[in-house]
Amino acid sequence: MDQASKGMAWTDPNCPVARAADMVGDRWSLLIIRDAMDGAHSFTDFQQRTSIARNILTDRLRKLIAYGLLIQVDAPSGRRKLYELTDAGRDLFAVIVTLRQWGERHTFGDNEPHSTLLDREGRPLPRVLPVDIDGAAVSVDSTRVQKVSR
Protein backbone atom coordinates (compact mmCIF):
# COMPACT_ATOMS: atom_id res chain seq x y z
CA MET A 1 0.00 0.00 0.00
CA ASP A 2 1.40 3.40 -0.95
CA GLN A 3 1.52 6.49 1.21
CA ALA A 4 -1.61 8.00 -0.33
CA SER A 5 -3.82 5.05 0.62
CA LYS A 6 -2.83 4.82 4.29
CA GLY A 7 -5.77 5.58 6.51
CA MET A 8 -8.20 6.19 3.64
CA ALA A 9 -11.78 5.02 3.94
CA TRP A 10 -12.27 3.89 0.35
CA THR A 11 -15.72 3.91 -1.26
CA ASP A 12 -14.88 0.64 -3.03
CA PRO A 13 -11.46 -0.64 -1.86
CA ASN A 14 -10.91 -2.99 -4.81
CA CYS A 15 -11.73 -0.54 -7.60
CA PRO A 16 -9.04 1.80 -8.97
CA VAL A 17 -11.71 4.13 -10.42
CA ALA A 18 -13.43 4.46 -7.04
CA ARG A 19 -10.13 5.09 -5.26
CA ALA A 20 -9.16 7.77 -7.79
CA ALA A 21 -12.61 9.37 -7.45
CA ASP A 22 -12.21 9.36 -3.67
CA MET A 23 -9.01 11.38 -4.11
CA VAL A 24 -9.88 13.81 -6.92
CA GLY A 25 -13.55 13.22 -7.70
CA ASP A 26 -14.90 16.61 -6.69
CA ARG A 27 -14.83 19.51 -9.11
CA TRP A 28 -12.62 21.75 -6.97
CA SER A 29 -9.84 19.20 -6.68
CA LEU A 30 -9.80 18.60 -10.43
CA LEU A 31 -9.82 22.34 -11.13
CA ILE A 32 -6.92 22.88 -8.72
CA ILE A 33 -4.96 20.10 -10.46
CA ARG A 34 -5.88 21.60 -13.86
CA ASP A 35 -4.67 25.04 -12.78
CA ALA A 36 -1.46 23.66 -11.27
CA MET A 37 -0.78 22.11 -14.69
CA ASP A 38 -1.41 25.52 -16.23
CA GLY A 39 1.10 27.35 -14.03
CA ALA A 40 -0.82 28.23 -10.86
CA HIS A 41 1.39 27.87 -7.78
CA SER A 42 0.06 30.11 -5.03
CA PHE A 43 -3.09 30.10 -2.95
CA THR A 44 -4.00 33.40 -4.61
CA ASP A 45 -3.48 31.93 -8.10
CA PHE A 46 -5.89 29.09 -7.38
CA GLN A 47 -8.43 31.34 -5.68
CA GLN A 48 -8.46 33.88 -8.52
CA ARG A 49 -8.64 31.30 -11.30
CA THR A 50 -11.46 29.26 -9.76
CA SER A 51 -13.31 31.80 -7.55
CA ILE A 52 -13.43 29.02 -4.96
CA ALA A 53 -14.21 30.05 -1.38
CA ARG A 54 -11.04 30.39 0.69
CA ASN A 55 -12.10 27.77 3.27
CA ILE A 56 -12.87 25.20 0.56
CA LEU A 57 -9.60 25.94 -1.23
CA THR A 58 -7.69 25.50 2.03
CA ASP A 59 -9.40 22.15 2.60
CA ARG A 60 -8.78 20.88 -0.94
CA LEU A 61 -5.13 21.95 -0.95
CA ARG A 62 -4.59 20.12 2.36
CA LYS A 63 -6.23 16.99 0.96
CA LEU A 64 -4.27 17.09 -2.29
CA ILE A 65 -1.07 17.37 -0.26
CA ALA A 66 -2.15 14.51 2.04
CA TYR A 67 -2.97 12.37 -1.02
CA GLY A 68 0.51 13.04 -2.44
CA LEU A 69 -0.68 14.98 -5.50
CA LEU A 70 0.73 18.37 -4.48
CA ILE A 71 3.65 19.44 -2.30
CA GLN A 72 4.30 22.75 -0.61
CA VAL A 73 7.56 24.54 -1.29
CA ASP A 74 8.94 27.84 -0.07
CA ALA A 75 8.48 30.78 -2.42
CA PRO A 76 11.75 32.39 -3.54
CA SER A 77 10.99 35.28 -1.17
CA GLY A 78 10.61 32.79 1.69
CA ARG A 79 7.53 34.69 2.84
CA ARG A 80 4.89 32.23 1.66
CA LYS A 81 4.34 28.70 0.43
CA LEU A 82 3.79 27.63 -3.14
CA TYR A 83 2.21 24.44 -4.45
CA GLU A 84 3.77 22.10 -7.01
CA LEU A 85 2.52 18.92 -8.60
CA THR A 86 4.17 15.69 -7.51
CA ASP A 87 4.82 12.92 -10.02
CA ALA A 88 1.44 11.44 -9.03
CA GLY A 89 -0.21 14.81 -9.66
CA ARG A 90 1.53 15.16 -13.02
CA ASP A 91 0.29 11.66 -13.92
CA LEU A 92 -3.24 13.11 -13.90
CA PHE A 93 -2.42 14.98 -17.13
CA ALA A 94 -3.96 12.28 -19.34
CA VAL A 95 -7.08 12.31 -17.15
CA ILE A 96 -7.40 16.10 -17.46
CA VAL A 97 -6.85 15.95 -21.24
CA THR A 98 -9.41 13.18 -21.64
CA LEU A 99 -11.95 15.00 -19.45
CA ARG A 100 -11.30 18.23 -21.40
CA GLN A 101 -11.83 16.48 -24.72
CA TRP A 102 -15.02 14.83 -23.47
CA GLY A 103 -16.20 18.29 -22.36
CA GLU A 104 -15.38 19.77 -25.76
CA ARG A 105 -17.50 17.08 -27.48
CA HIS A 106 -20.43 16.92 -25.06
CA THR A 107 -20.82 20.25 -23.23
CA PHE A 108 -20.46 22.88 -25.96
CA GLY A 109 -22.60 23.74 -28.95
CA ASP A 110 -21.13 23.43 -32.45
CA ASN A 111 -19.87 27.02 -32.68
CA GLU A 112 -19.65 27.81 -28.98
CA PRO A 113 -16.21 29.19 -28.09
CA HIS A 114 -14.01 27.43 -25.54
CA SER A 115 -10.38 27.26 -24.52
CA THR A 116 -8.14 24.91 -26.47
CA LEU A 117 -5.17 22.85 -25.30
CA LEU A 118 -2.30 23.15 -27.77
CA ASP A 119 0.97 21.28 -28.25
CA ARG A 120 4.38 23.00 -28.52
CA GLU A 121 3.77 23.76 -32.20
CA GLY A 122 0.42 25.46 -31.46
CA ARG A 123 -1.71 22.60 -32.75
CA PRO A 124 -4.75 21.19 -30.91
CA LEU A 125 -4.08 17.77 -29.41
CA PRO A 126 -5.53 14.75 -31.20
CA ARG A 127 -8.24 12.85 -29.37
CA VAL A 128 -6.88 10.69 -26.57
CA LEU A 129 -7.98 7.09 -27.01
CA PRO A 130 -7.07 4.03 -24.96
CA VAL A 131 -5.31 1.29 -26.88
CA ASP A 132 -4.47 -2.33 -26.21
CA ILE A 133 -0.97 -3.76 -26.01
CA ASP A 134 -0.82 -3.94 -29.81
CA GLY A 135 -1.86 -0.30 -30.25
CA ALA A 136 -5.41 -1.04 -31.40
CA ALA A 137 -8.14 1.26 -30.07
CA VAL A 138 -10.29 -0.25 -27.32
CA SER A 139 -13.71 0.78 -26.01
CA VAL A 140 -16.35 -0.16 -23.49
CA ASP A 141 -17.45 -2.83 -25.99
CA SER A 142 -14.02 -4.47 -26.29
CA THR A 143 -12.85 -4.55 -22.65
CA ARG A 144 -13.93 -6.13 -19.40
CA VAL A 145 -13.07 -5.67 -15.73
CA GLN A 146 -11.52 -8.60 -13.91
CA LYS A 147 -12.95 -8.34 -10.41
CA VAL A 148 -11.03 -9.29 -7.27
CA SER A 149 -12.34 -12.57 -5.91
CA ARG A 150 -13.44 -12.41 -2.32
pLDDT values of the chain reduced to their tens digit, one per residue, 150 residues: 454 556 678 999 999 999 999 999 999 999 999 999 999 999 999 999 999 999 999 999 999 999 999 999 999 988 899 999 999 999 999 999 999 999 999 999 999 999 999 999 999 999 999 999 999 999 999 999 999 887
Q: Residues, the chain, total?
A: 150
What is the domain partition of the chain in residue ranges?
Answer: 3-91
pLDDT attached to residue 2: 57
d(CA 69, CA 87): 7
Contact between 80 and 42 (Cβ < 8 Å): yes
Contact between 23 and 66 (Cβ < 8 Å): no
Considering the entire predicted model, what is its pTM? 0.87
Ramachandran quadrant class, 148 (left: phi over 0; alpha: psi -120 to 50; beta: rest): beta
Say if domain 3-91 classifies as CATH 1.10.10.10: yes
Residue 131 φ then ψ, to 5°? -130, 160
pLDDT attached to residue 1: 43
